[in-house]
Amino acid sequence: MKTMRYWSVRHARGLHWLYQGLETLLVFLHPVLNWVGYERLETPFSRLESAVKGLLFDSQSCGQCTLGNTGMACPMNCPKTLRNGPCGGVRADGGCEIQPEMTCVWVTAWEGSQKLGNQESTIQIIQPPLDVRNKGTSAWLRATRKKVAENHAV
Protein backbone atom coordinates (compact mmCIF):
# COMPACT_ATOMS: atom_id res chain seq x y z
CA MET A 1 0.00 0.00 0.00
CA LYS A 2 2.82 2.42 0.76
CA THR A 3 4.06 2.16 -2.82
CA MET A 4 0.68 3.33 -4.18
CA ARG A 5 0.46 5.99 -1.46
CA TYR A 6 3.76 7.50 -2.62
CA TRP A 7 2.79 7.10 -6.30
CA SER A 8 -0.41 9.05 -5.62
CA VAL A 9 1.50 11.89 -4.02
CA ARG A 10 3.91 12.03 -6.97
CA HIS A 11 0.85 12.28 -9.27
CA ALA A 12 -1.13 14.60 -7.00
CA ARG A 13 -2.00 17.13 -9.69
CA GLY A 14 -3.66 14.61 -12.01
CA LEU A 15 -5.41 12.80 -9.18
CA HIS A 16 -6.67 16.09 -7.77
CA TRP A 17 -8.05 16.94 -11.19
CA LEU A 18 -9.85 13.56 -11.29
CA TYR A 19 -11.10 14.10 -7.76
CA GLN A 20 -12.58 17.48 -8.73
CA GLY A 21 -14.15 15.90 -11.81
CA LEU A 22 -15.78 13.23 -9.65
CA GLU A 23 -17.13 15.90 -7.32
CA THR A 24 -18.57 17.83 -10.28
CA LEU A 25 -20.17 14.65 -11.64
CA LEU A 26 -21.73 13.77 -8.27
CA VAL A 27 -23.10 17.31 -7.86
CA PHE A 28 -24.58 17.04 -11.36
CA LEU A 29 -26.13 13.69 -10.38
CA HIS A 30 -27.52 15.07 -7.10
CA PRO A 31 -31.17 14.96 -8.26
CA VAL A 32 -30.80 11.24 -9.06
CA LEU A 33 -28.84 10.54 -5.86
CA ASN A 34 -31.45 12.40 -3.86
CA TRP A 35 -34.28 10.52 -5.59
CA VAL A 36 -32.67 7.14 -4.85
CA GLY A 37 -31.88 8.30 -1.33
CA TYR A 38 -28.51 9.18 0.15
CA GLU A 39 -29.15 6.81 3.06
CA ARG A 40 -29.71 3.93 0.66
CA LEU A 41 -26.53 4.81 -1.27
CA GLU A 42 -24.34 5.15 1.81
CA THR A 43 -23.24 1.50 2.05
CA PRO A 44 -22.36 0.93 -1.63
CA PHE A 45 -20.64 4.31 -1.89
CA SER A 46 -18.65 3.83 1.31
CA ARG A 47 -17.50 0.38 0.13
CA LEU A 48 -16.49 1.67 -3.30
CA GLU A 49 -14.80 4.70 -1.78
CA SER A 50 -12.95 2.54 0.74
CA ALA A 51 -11.65 0.26 -2.03
CA VAL A 52 -10.55 3.09 -4.35
CA LYS A 53 -9.06 5.32 -1.68
CA GLY A 54 -7.56 2.35 0.14
CA LEU A 55 -5.70 1.30 -3.00
CA LEU A 56 -4.58 4.74 -4.15
CA PHE A 57 -4.03 6.61 -0.89
CA ASP A 58 -3.88 3.91 1.81
CA SER A 59 -6.94 5.72 3.16
CA GLN A 60 -8.17 4.89 6.63
CA SER A 61 -11.82 5.67 5.69
CA CYS A 62 -12.34 8.32 8.35
CA GLY A 63 -15.28 9.77 6.41
CA GLN A 64 -13.77 13.28 6.48
CA CYS A 65 -11.43 13.25 3.53
CA THR A 66 -8.83 15.99 3.27
CA LEU A 67 -6.85 14.56 0.34
CA GLY A 68 -7.42 17.69 -1.74
CA ASN A 69 -5.86 19.81 1.02
CA THR A 70 -2.97 17.49 1.84
CA GLY A 71 -1.40 16.85 -1.53
CA MET A 72 -3.36 13.59 -1.95
CA ALA A 73 -1.69 12.13 1.17
CA CYS A 74 -4.07 10.70 3.78
CA PRO A 75 -3.16 12.31 7.13
CA MET A 76 -4.79 9.42 8.96
CA ASN A 77 -1.72 7.34 8.06
CA CYS A 78 0.15 9.33 10.69
CA PRO A 79 0.68 6.98 13.67
CA LYS A 80 -0.61 9.80 15.89
CA THR A 81 -3.51 10.44 13.46
CA LEU A 82 -2.69 14.14 13.32
CA ARG A 83 -4.93 16.06 10.94
CA ASN A 84 -2.93 19.29 11.15
CA GLY A 85 0.75 19.15 10.39
CA PRO A 86 3.65 17.22 11.79
CA CYS A 87 3.93 16.51 15.50
CA GLY A 88 7.35 18.04 15.91
CA GLY A 89 8.97 14.64 16.10
CA VAL A 90 9.96 14.47 12.44
CA ARG A 91 13.48 13.11 12.17
CA ALA A 92 16.21 14.95 10.26
CA ASP A 93 15.85 12.48 7.37
CA GLY A 94 12.06 13.10 7.18
CA GLY A 95 11.27 9.86 9.01
CA CYS A 96 8.43 9.46 11.46
CA GLU A 97 9.17 9.73 15.18
CA ILE A 98 7.03 6.66 15.94
CA GLN A 99 7.91 4.56 12.87
CA PRO A 100 11.38 5.70 11.75
CA GLU A 101 11.31 3.47 8.64
CA MET A 102 8.28 5.42 7.37
CA THR A 103 8.51 8.89 5.85
CA CYS A 104 6.48 11.35 7.92
CA VAL A 105 3.00 11.62 6.41
CA TRP A 106 3.26 15.39 6.63
CA VAL A 107 6.56 15.51 4.75
CA THR A 108 4.83 13.51 2.03
CA ALA A 109 1.74 15.75 2.20
CA TRP A 110 3.91 18.85 1.76
CA GLU A 111 5.60 17.32 -1.29
CA GLY A 112 2.20 16.47 -2.78
CA SER A 113 0.84 19.94 -2.08
CA GLN A 114 3.74 21.43 -4.04
CA LYS A 115 2.61 19.43 -7.08
CA LEU A 116 -0.85 21.00 -6.94
CA GLY A 117 0.55 24.26 -8.27
CA ASN A 118 -1.20 27.37 -6.98
CA GLN A 119 -3.19 25.35 -4.46
CA GLU A 120 -0.27 24.61 -2.13
CA SER A 121 -1.68 26.97 0.50
CA THR A 122 -4.59 24.55 1.09
CA ILE A 123 -2.28 22.43 3.24
CA GLN A 124 -2.27 25.35 5.68
CA ILE A 125 -6.05 25.17 6.24
CA ILE A 126 -6.68 24.07 9.81
CA GLN A 127 -8.76 20.89 9.77
CA PRO A 128 -11.40 20.28 12.44
CA PRO A 129 -10.89 17.39 14.85
CA LEU A 130 -11.86 13.98 13.58
CA ASP A 131 -15.51 13.11 14.16
CA VAL A 132 -15.32 9.35 14.79
CA ARG A 133 -19.05 9.01 14.03
CA ASN A 134 -18.18 9.45 10.34
CA LYS A 135 -15.66 6.58 10.23
CA GLY A 136 -16.57 4.16 7.46
CA THR A 137 -19.04 6.53 5.81
CA SER A 138 -18.80 8.12 2.38
CA ALA A 139 -16.94 11.41 2.28
CA TRP A 140 -17.95 11.63 -1.39
CA LEU A 141 -21.66 11.74 -0.58
CA ARG A 142 -21.09 14.15 2.32
CA ALA A 143 -19.05 16.47 0.05
CA THR A 144 -21.76 16.28 -2.64
CA ARG A 145 -24.51 17.32 -0.23
CA LYS A 146 -22.32 20.12 1.15
CA LYS A 147 -21.51 21.44 -2.33
CA VAL A 148 -25.19 21.32 -3.38
CA ALA A 149 -26.17 23.21 -0.20
CA GLU A 150 -23.46 25.83 -0.89
CA ASN A 151 -24.68 26.27 -4.48
CA HIS A 152 -28.26 26.75 -3.32
CA ALA A 153 -27.19 29.22 -0.64
CA VAL A 154 -25.68 31.54 -3.27
pLDDT of 124 higher than 90: no
Instruction: DSSP for 9-38, please give it.
Output: HHTHHHHHHHHHHHHHHHHHTHHHHHHH-H
CA distance 55 to 101: 21
Domains of the chain by residue range: 2-153
Residue 107: its pLDDT value, please? 93
Question: pTM for the whole thing?
Answer: 0.85
Identify the pLDDT of residue 148: 95
In this prediction, residue 154 carries a pLDDT of 60
Q: What is the mean pLDDT of residues 80-100?
A: 90
Helices marked H in the chain — which ranges?
2-10, 12-28, 30-36, 38-57, 105-115, 139-153
> Cα dist. 111→11, 12, 80, 103, 153 in Å?
11, 9, 20, 11, 35
Instruction: Answer yes or no: are the C-beta atoms of 104 and 90 closer than 8 Å.
Output: yes
pLDDT score recorded for residue 117: 74
pLDDT tens-digit readout, 99-117: 999 999 999 999 999 888 7
Please write the tens of the pLDDT for every residue from 5-64.
Answer: 999 999 999 999 999 999 999 999 999 999 999 999 999 999 999 999 999 999 999 999
